[in-house]
Structure 1
Amino acid sequence: MSDPWHHPHKECRETLHLAKELGWPAPVKASNHGGLVLNCPESDPGCRLRFYSTPKGVESWARNARRKIKQCPHVADETPFDRVERLLGQAERLLVAAETELKRQDAANHALELLAEADGQLDQVDRELTDLEAEFEAAATAEQQLAADRDLLVEDQEDGWTPEEFVEKASFGLRTVRTELRDLPARNPRHQAGTERHDAAVARVTSLRARLECL
């Protein structure tokens, strides 16, 4: 089954993602123009949005659509700055998950290398394995903490995600943050704080992607 929240245009896709996060029902196919119809949680005609397959002026249309979604009175009372901070928190937790998984993989790979070289070096292997046990225990502790916070991660997250999946999901959230910040007053202290957190998280994404390319 195709994803009802998918759209070929990036701007429309991000608009649909915003509606999903704010609790709007999944869009339905329109009967008269081949696109999608998105209704708010109360199916208020005044909040209805129509997604065409190839909308004209898509960036301006999507910006106005996101504003309409955020102004809908039938969703949770979340300010734009609240949303920015929530998305930043999600992205930061996803990056921690990616870093933890990479550490676990590093420890496992290191163990395999040691076992391959174990012939004739059993004494050295014993010392290295003792260090590895400490690494595994540290990774297990980090994974337990991640599991305790799992309910704070993005909706529909599944166990067994790869570092690449964690990083890409975090990157998607950060693109949404950047779009949100463009529409918010730059002089507000929360804007500056959100921008700094966004830039720091983007730097971590870049670092993690470079590391993943070397694997």
Structure 2
Amino acid sequence: MTSEFFELLKEAAKIVGIDVSDKVEWKKLSEVAKYSKDRISFENLNEKNYVGVENLLKNRLGKIDSNNVPTEGNSVKFNMGDVLIGNIRPYLRKIWLADIEGGTNGDVLVINIDKKHKNKILSRYLYQILSDEKFFDYNIKYSKGAKMPRGDKEKIMEYKIPLPPLPVQEYIVSILDKFDALVSDLSQGLPKEIELRQKQYEYYREKLLNFEK
């Protein structure tokens, strides 16, 4: 976890013609994404593709199977590539990038990229931006309620995100995904190792996403 290593990453990026601070636009989240308004029937849901806030894992560790699948009605639909964020107690930092189609409820926010911006932002890049500690600090700051705080949906959509060119996004994601895989797969290390990986992951995410406004 050294600044020297990050300098090597930047040098490697330049070798392949990528500047991690070049041509960055800043956009409100609402300018590139929206909350899902689609619905999915309970008949299409199971323990694998129903995601409630209770089966989202804290500290960005993804999800587990659900024990509380609806048996009637419709749920909020999510698609592959959507970002799901637990909206109860934002300080738990519950977030997951959907790799399947499924459903959830009002306690989980489903954020999907607008069709007209599909060619401007990668879903995995958006996930990394919203996994960043800066976003969670922002979300916690504007959350409402004392005992059971909830994120402010309007404020979340006002959050400003950096939009570098796609090759830069791809480069950033390629680095952070490796840390993501190590941290998320608990079978790959002991708790102390996992803690160290998480700190390292946060360090490099902070560096790679630190664009000047």
**TM-score for both structures, normalised by structure 1:** 0.23
Structure (1 or 2) with the greater strand fraction: 2
Q: Using CA pairs below 8 Å that are at least 6 residues apart, which structure has the higher relative contact order?
A: 2
Question: Bigger radius of gyration, 1 or 2?
Answer: 1
Structure (1 or 2) with the greater helix fraction: 1
**TM-score for both structures, normalised by structure 2:** 0.23
